[in-house]
Structure 1
């Protein structure tokens, strides 16, 4: 028994709790609730927050449940990123580039056979084996932090009570002082098209397909759509992308168009200003789908074709359905996203939310992880710092990779005025492309956007070319710290490198 400021705390277990301040002790509800912190969702943000809270001595529970996709795809602990997002996508992207590397090897003097085929099932098995290993690592990490794991669907009964239902329909209830909603998202469908859920797949399914996708139609022009189209084309499949309006709508449009043109040149077909109107099993058999599509402006039928695979990538929606959020007072938008303030607090003061399910947040794994950890520190370690969602770097892993941090040229012009901007551009040919016959006429490009009346402060950096993530990450630190153009000019270049172009820019675009 321990006595702190005349308050008795019974059965305190020093092996379970770390040494922490008296103020921290007051935060924990040792007897009133079963948990100090309960996390709904086992994705990147939820796990990170749960483990961080547990490291400060909080009693933490976490519930995770994966509803199978309409095609039956399901997966283990880890959420979108590890199972159907960042990890398999990057591994498929790597695999799609290896074919080009064979050509590079030949042109560099290596005697590589020409008739080499790709085995789809080998790739899928390798990726799934790696993912299952990560699932196990994540589960072990929760155990190490003494986070209690529930493989069950969680919904709210009231602001402190969570109902858990396992796969067999068994129900139980737990209570917690604080609740974190880290529900994540799942792909949207075009449900106005009959049978679309039965005949089409999404990014939730492509990495589990046992048979090669064959001729593929990708519906959508988001980064997910273009990444999938890119690696499928790189693996040797006939790919068409159906674009409703414009590609990569929320990114710098000059560079978005460059990415599209690169993909077109290297074999991906784009049909712009069109949407599908019907998807049916083809009379030709062979599990082909017959797809018709119309012009978005006139509504007229503009084309039809047969595809082995139809992949829908038209955005993602928050997984808030059935969690009983509005009934307990959590505010949702019309499309089901959770409304939070800058501290990640919902309309109910003890209920919080991070990640893809929150309105206005970037749907990126690193932002969810950082936000989840910072929330746990505020709740259980007396820290005050809030998550900042500006100047977040990201990369699109299309065949011509696209790294970006800060504002696009369109966003910068809207915020600062076009005449108050300097745009610095450099176009160059990466040295390793000298070995590629197919890329002899291709170029990498870098762009800096600076504000004239703010000492040419850098507010946007964009790069398309090899190793975009590696090029962008380091510059993100400089931009986060408020670097201006002179700071870039005063930095010595590493030669030869891709990134050196950013410190060699001398003349703004007129």
Structure 2
């Protein structure tokens, strides 16, 4: 419980946050009458609190105002949550012309909620088109207490640190390979703290550069939680120097919600507080030791790959059979990825659901975790590990944003419902990136959505339909040790879409020339195209998949060709390959599947 003055101060803060202009007044005060008349003449709505009509409560409020502002007299005027003094100060602001700017100061052409890939792309594009933009971003701590700066998941705990660790792992492998081709190489143990420190330093530099890019464009940046106050008002919730909650309201002609997602941990998992997620992995202070990666998607397999290279024993536990690894990807290619991971020493436990984690201490005082994994027959096996990484997907969390107040609806998973243009139920509010229902959780997709929606809003695009949906099946890379790049339809999806008699699939396993005498283990590489048979006899490429070194770099060059719809199997066969490269295999796909 707070004392009377503290309670009144909080009440005043709530009041000034709820209204654009608040005048604490006394009904017979001539100065109060003058300032209220000024606002009326300007057509500015204001809330007047007549202290002399409130009895002793009015005295308490005036005491609170004195404590809060240092001003004992009335009128006491607040605009957009900020104190501007009394009548003489407001009159002077009007005379100088500054009052109009102050009244408009917290009104924006666009408010973007979320400082990740999608939000930054939208904010920067809109500002470059001349819009007055505000960006609101706040990162809630993970259950393990991890927090980070501006830039969202991709910069802080996703794409950037993941790729840096992937490259570090590849670098270590190359050192080992060098010893197989005549170099005398002395390899010391890998220093996990050193790698984490270097990645942390780089990410902080990116945070600073990102914030600087907002400043260069005069984008107002608010590090605060956002709640919808009305259909076009956003309430910002932050903490002041005294750790008291501060509320501010800003207004946007248009609003873009780009709040992203966070890792999902099952609510019924016993001992979930002993687990980590990808939010925590890249800042672990010490080597994670023997790791249980729970899940069969991107994060679990990518993490398993680089941790194994850093000397960890790694077990991957996933529900179902092998079809639950990288679902929606081409199964033939996923089998190649899984085989390569097994060859590197990673152990797979299929049909395994993590149900309990408990902390134990071994006889030599070593802290360990006991992970209880249950199969579909209710049989439980217990794995002794040092770290449990839960990577079973991500979820949107907008439950505390009061979206319903603004006419914005969500689905059962908390994702914001949008139409093909990214619009929500409120035509002035859009949702983009991972938080938008039905969109891929991919940074590249989020970037393009941000650009397209901002261009539509501020470059006078005449048609907003299809802004979010005309990418087709987007290109992506799974950064396992042998990278897996994928674009367009898998063989299974193509058969479901076009029918088996209309689909052909061609592939080739290969060994990169540059690695044939140096690689540690004989992992498989594979290239594959999935084609739709045209009436003309041409096989139009509708899916392209590649497992091998630098697969993403190879795939990027084919994205434009695929998007034009002009890439065919016949064109690949006739293409002049560059001798000695991995991409050359695409000119010689000799094996075919019977679809």
Whether these two folds match at TM > 0.5 is yes
- Spell out the pairing of 1:187-266 with structure 2 (5 A cutoff): 187-196=263-272, 198-245=273-320, 246-266=324-344
Alignment of 1:4-403 (within 5 A): 34-113=107-186, 115-167=187-239, 168=243, 169-196=245-272, 198-245=273-320, 246-284=324-362, 285-295=365-375, 297-301=376-380, 303-383=381-461, 384=463, 386-387=467-468, 388-403=470-485
SS for the counterpart of 2:534 is helix
Q: How far is the alpha carbon of 1:456 from its aligned partner?
A: 0.9
> Where has structure 1 moved over 4 Å in runs of 4 or more?
30-33
Deviation at 1:144, TM superposition (A): 0.7
Question: Does structure 1 conserve the Cα–Cα contact (< 8 Å) formed by 2:270 and 2:355?
Answer: no
Q: Which residue pairs with 2:558 in the alignment?
A: 475
CA contact (8 A) 2:533 2:539 kept: yes
Which residue pairs with 1:452 in the alignment?
533
Q: Does 1:436 align with 2:518?
A: yes
Cα gap change, 1:437 to 1:35, in 2 (>3 Å):
closer
Name the CA distance, whole Å, in 1 between partners of 2:367 and 2:415.
Answer: 36
The alignment's C-alpha RMSD in Å is 1.5
Moved more, 426-435 or 52-61: 426-435
**SS in structure 2 of the partner of residue 39 of structure 1:** strand
1:391 touches 1:476 (CA, 8 Å); kept in 2?
no
1:191-246, CA deviations, whole angstroms, 9 ceiling, x for partnerless residues?
201230x2000000000000110111111111111011111011110110111122
Mapped to 2, the partners of 1:506 and 1:121 lie a distance apart of 47
**Residue 394 (structure 1) shift:** 0.6
Which whole-Å CA distance do the structure 2 matches of 1:45 and 1:406 have between them?
22
Residue 182 (structure 1) shift = 0.3
- 1:502 equivalent among 564, 571, 586: 586
Between Structure 1 and Structure 2, the one with more helix by share is 2
Which moves more between the two structures, 102-111 or 89-98?
Answer: 102-111
Relative contact order (C-alpha < 8 Å, sep 6+): which is higher?
A: 1
Q: What secondary structure does 2:433 align onto?
A: coil
Gaps in structure 2 of 5+ consecutive residues:
1-102
Deviations 1:106-125 (A, max 9, x none): 12221111x52100000000
TM-score (ref. length: structure 2): 0.78
Aligned-residue offset at 1:31: 5.8
Question: Which residues of structure 1 form unaligned runs of 5+?
Answer: 1-29
State the alpha-carbon separation in 2 of the partners of residues 499 and 404 from structure 1: 14
Provide the secondary structure at the position in 1 that maps to 2:134: strand
How far 1:286 sits from its partner (Å)?
2.8
Give, in angstroms, the shift of residue 319 of structure 1: 2.8
426-435 or 30-39: bigger deviation: 30-39
Asked if the contact 2:361–2:367 (Cα under 8 Å) also holds between the matched residues in 1, the reply is no
1:40 and 1:46 in contact (8 A); partners too: yes
1:200–1:309 CA contact under 8 A, matched in 2 = yes
The offset of 1:506, in angstroms, is 4.7
Contact 1:219 1:242 in 2 (8 A): yes
Q: Tell me if structure 2 keeps the 8 A contact 1:35–1:59.
A: yes
- TM-score norm. by structure 1 comes to 0.91
Q: Distance in 2 between matches of 1:186 and 1:206?
A: 14
**Does structure 2 conserve the Cα–Cα contact (< 8 Å) formed by 1:317 and 1:336?**
yes
Is the contact between residue 106 and residue 249 of structure 2 (CA under 8 Å) also seen in structure 1? no
Offset at residue 475 of structure 1 (A) = 1.0
